[in-house]
Chain A
Amino acid sequence: MSRSIATRIGAEPGKATRSVILIIVGLVFVVPIAAMLEFTFRAGLAGGYTFAHWTGIFDPAQASNYSNLLVGIGNSVVLAIVTVAIVLVVLLPTMILVHLQFPRLRRVLEIICIVPITVPAIVLVVGLAPVYSVVVTILGGDTWTLAFAYGITVLPYAYRAIQANLGAVDMITLSEAGRSLGAGWLRVLWHVILPNLRRGIIAASFISVAVVLGEFTIASLLNRTNMQTALLQLAQTDGYVAVIFALLSLIVAFLILLLIGRLGRTRGNRSTS
């Protein structure tokens, strides 16, 4: 601990510089959010403030207005779950296998996983549209099939999160130690590798959830309803409520990121870096 602080001190800017940077960055984030918040309390063009927009959400009489949004939220949650499942079932084992058994493929895997970040969502959709016309005939047109596309968009983030963890622990020696102590591959995976990848796995999952909950372009262009497309629709009928839900989703995303930061800092499981 003290070592890492000591090595970092030289590279750190002074206290005043740090405060200025923090304040500027903070303003960039706070101003739009504060503006959104202020907007949700406005009582129309006439001026003045009201809680009506917030209380209206819980008004059963208006529930039908939001039904599409609720469908969208439900879809997004399902998509998040399926996407995380894809990450854990496809990406994670591949990364472990490549790391331990096929180290020569590491660069290839890295490039494959990072590429999606360079491909704009629009381009992705153009490529995916014909694919989805096939997917629909096989798996049906349910919204959850979007998760295949999302699995690709979250790839760079999930890869980074898991790779950071893999790089910080000497997984090869640990699994060889496990093997020498009598564990077969499955038990090495379960008792040695996964416990030591816990942080990376959780971070990858949460980041995937955050990305999926914020996704708009692909869903919109492929004509599916998720939280973001539903929000946009709602914004066209009731701008206030749309902003309220946007705020709420921001808070949820913020909480998720906070949680990831927390996990990164938990002690007791610190690797011997």
Chain B
Amino acid sequence: MTATTATSTPSSLSAPNTGATVQLIDVVKDYAGQRALDGVALSINPGEFIALLGPSGCGKTTALRALSGLEQVDGGHILIDGKDVVDVPVNKRDIGMVFQSYSLFPHLTAGENVEFGLRMRKVGAAERRRRAAETLELVGLDHHVGRYAHQLSGGQQQRVALARALVTQPRVLLLDEPLSALDAKVRVQLREEIRRIQLDLGITTLYVTHDQEEALSVSDHVAVMYGGRIEQMGSPAEMYSAPATPFVAEYIGTMNRLEGTVVDGGVSHAGTTLRIEEAQSRPRGERVLVLVRPETVAVERANGGGGGVNTLVGDVVTQTFLGPVTRLKILGDGVDVIADVPTQKALSLPVGTRVAAVLPAEGARLLSLKEDVPQIAEEPVPAGR
């Protein structure tokens, strides 16, 4: 990392003081009696890129605004580099922000926009211009210095906004769904670029998004938020393979959720007993949710007779082409499973075929069903592809 920093980062940006620690401790925020943040706890290491992921209305923006100082909190502490900044106004917090809506000053050129923060810090004109040019180069827009916002595309505007936020070398970079207004293609390209720049500068970054693919693909850690709380935080791989709550399981990736009861030797579901390792440590009779990723379900043509171990029998009712794999929806007596099989193989299992779906004994996870499992309106996009 140090090697790339030395070669690709403009001198004035690679300041040693970037990369602060950030801690939110029990942060509470109410809007007219309605709780938007319900004890948010979050800890970010220096130089880390954290994605704050969650459905619309779960409090992501509010959390970010609380950290930035744009919103006063009703309780808790916010520490930047160990110092409580709850009473420090926005303009003194030394943070960089990129907003969801286009926020370039329309009366200023791209260059002047980037210079704005330096002007507020009383940096001389010559140095301002030099640093603005360097930062615009970093985001690949050095040839657009003189353009106004309305002469730039949405993606270019957000690049300038990023440069504007970075030029003052803030201690923390905050981005609130900066790509949500852009085309899918630009979105993918720009998120990778944001990550590259962030790694280059080593700046502590909190990135708010409701797009789980975006969150998983660029961040060091993902924090999933729901109902004003952080449900779980971990590396993208951990979040995908070991969701800690039913909500996270549902929200990240696509998941089969099979309700069942713990019995001797496994979990009783749809008339069969699923051998699931985790079940052995559970009390008998407990209601649980068996979580199985569709790509771990093996599907074979059913050959008459009863099922083997961990086998659920049903008919293929739909096929959804997803590129290298095809998603099968399998319905049977009490059986409702989706499975991703190689597209080549799916050709031999057309709609109407009676199939046996074999669940893995090890890959499946169990969650206790004591809490109500939230329903998510939109079908989550498959992750990791």
Contacts and interface: CB of A to CB of B under 8 A. Distances in A.
Interface string B142-158: 00000011100000000
B70 A176 contact: yes
A183 B148 contact: no
A61 interface: no
A182 B70 contact: no
Interface residues of A, number: 24
Given A196-B107, A268-B148, A180 B116 contact: no
B116 A181 contact: yes
Contacts of A272: 102, 106, 149-150
A196 B108 CA distance: 10
Interface string B5-18: 00000000000000
Contacts, number: 75
Nearest to A197: B107
Interface in A94-147: none
Nearest to B65: A176
Interface string A139-179: 00000000000000000000000000000011001101111
Interface stretch (A15-23, A33-41, A187-195): A187-195
B177 to A, nearest CB: 13
B117 to A, nearest CB: 4
A182 B168 contact: yes
Contact of B96 (A173, A180, A270): A180
A180 B107 contact: no
A269 interface: yes
B376 interface: no
B164 A181 contact: yes
A178 B116 CA distance: 8
Contact of A183 (B68, B70, B120, B161): B120
B103 interface: yes
Contact of A180 (B68, B105, B121): B68
A198 to B, nearest CB: 8
B320 interface: no
A261 interface: no
A145 B327 CA distance: 80
B90 interface: yes
Nearest to B120: A182
Contact of B99 (A173, A184, A192, A270): A173
A198 B107 CA distance: 10
B105 A192 contact: yes
A191 B164 CA distance: 15
A174 B150 contact: no
B97 interface: yes
B145 to A, nearest CB: 16
Given A196-B106, A269-B106, A182 B101 contact: no
B95 interface: yes
Given A196-B107, A272-B149, A180 B120 contact: no
Interface string A36-49: 00000000000000
A271 interface: yes
A270 B106 contact: yes
A177 B103 contact: yes
A5 to B, nearest CB: 16
B120 A270 contact: no
Contact of A170 (B103, B119, B148, B168): B103
Contacts of B68: 180
A181 B168 contact: yes
B91 interface: yes
Interface in A180-227: 180-184, 187, 191-192, 195-196, 198
Nearest to A183: B120
B120 A187 contact: yes
Given A177-B97, A268-B148, A184 B103 contact: no
Contacts of A177: 97, 99, 103, 105, 161, 164
A232 B321 CA distance: 84
B103 A269 contact: no
Contacts of B103: 170, 173-174, 176-177
B96 A170 contact: no
Interface in B27-83: 68, 70
A270 B150 CA distance: 7
A14 B101 CA distance: 38
A150 B53 CA distance: 55
Contacts of A270: 106, 150
B161 to A, nearest CB: 8
Contacts of B92: 182
Nearest to B122: A182
Contacts of A183: 91, 116, 120
A182 B165 CA distance: 10
A196 B148 CA distance: 13
B116 A191 contact: yes
Contacts of A180: 68, 70, 90-91, 95-97, 165
Contacts of A192: 105
Nearest to A269: B107
Contacts of B105: 174, 177-178, 192, 195-196
Contacts of B95: 180
A183 B120 CA distance: 6
Nearest to B93: A180
B65 to A, nearest CB: 9
Given A176-B90, A181-B117, A191-B119, 14 more contacts: A170-B102, A174-B105, A177-B99, A177-B103, A180-B90, A181-B91, A182-B92, A182-B94, A182-B120, A187-B120, A196-B106, A196-B107, A269-B106, A272-B106
11 contacts: A170-B101, A173-B101, A174-B105, A177-B97, A180-B68, A180-B165, A181-B91, A181-B165, A182-B121, A191-B116, A268-B148
